[in-house]
Amino acid sequence: MNQEEHPHPSERHKLEAAYRQEHPRLLARLRATGRSLEEAEDLIHDVYAETMARVSLISRIRNLPAWINALLKRRTIDAWRHDQVRQRAGHIDLGEETIQEIIAGAGLDPMEQFIRENLVDALNDSIAALPPAQRWVIEMQMFQGLTFRELAEMSGESMDTLSARKRYALANLSRALRHWIED
């Protein structure tokens, strides 16, 4: 049993007091950067969870709120960089509502079993028809969950090249599915 498993009560109380004191300011700061309420709360929670995991260090920190602010700043920058990489890779987050609107706008009933089965078949056929390099990137990312960095290490190609292939693949898949809908 180590100290991190059972933190000293005074260190835990310091962290809880810092959380109560700083939470409104941190939340406002994150919301001002364009983060949704949920994203802001998640980032703040992650910072405090990380700090709680290192609670044994709290006694050595002179200004706990400033330390937490610095940690949150680094987390915010990391989140921003992650968002930028996803944008450059052509990744677009569509909420479930938006997807349902698109499907309904195309005149399809997403609950109809026939449509769902054929849409999956059309998507699989479209992926199979991609140029091999584009298909590889899509399959490795979507089905294997690998990152561009991992793919770059595996293939020896740059992350920019791989992200461009993914963009082209997504554009090709979108075009193929539009043709499928029109047919």
> According to the model, what pLDDT value does residue 124 have?
78
What are the pLDDT digits (tens) for 17-73?
888 888 898 888 888 877 778 888 888 888 888 888 887 888 888 888 888 888 888
In the chain, domain spans: 9-88, 97-182
Q: Which residues contact 47 (CB under 8 A, 6 or more apart)?
A: 26, 68, 71, 72, 75
Residue from 37, 15, 17 nearest 27 by CA: 37
Grouping H, G, I as helix, E, B as strand and the rest as coil, residue 62 is coil
Residue 149 pLDDT exceeds 70: yes
Residue 150 pLDDT exceeds 70: yes
Average pLDDT estimate for 76-99: 63
Give the CA diameter of the chain. Answer: 68
Q: Which residues contact 6 (CB under 8 A, 6 or more apart)?
A: none
State the Cα–Cα distance between residues 160 and 82, nearest whole angstrom. Answer: 14
> According to the model, what pLDDT value does residue 136 have?
92
Kindly calculate the radius of gyration of the chain based on its CA atoms and give it in whole angstroms. Answer: 23
User: In this structure, which topology does domain 97-182 adopt according to CATH?
Assistant: Arc Repressor Mutant, subunit A (1.10.10)
Residue from 161, 172, 160, 169 nearest 139 by CA: 169
Tokens 């091999």 appear where? Answer: 132
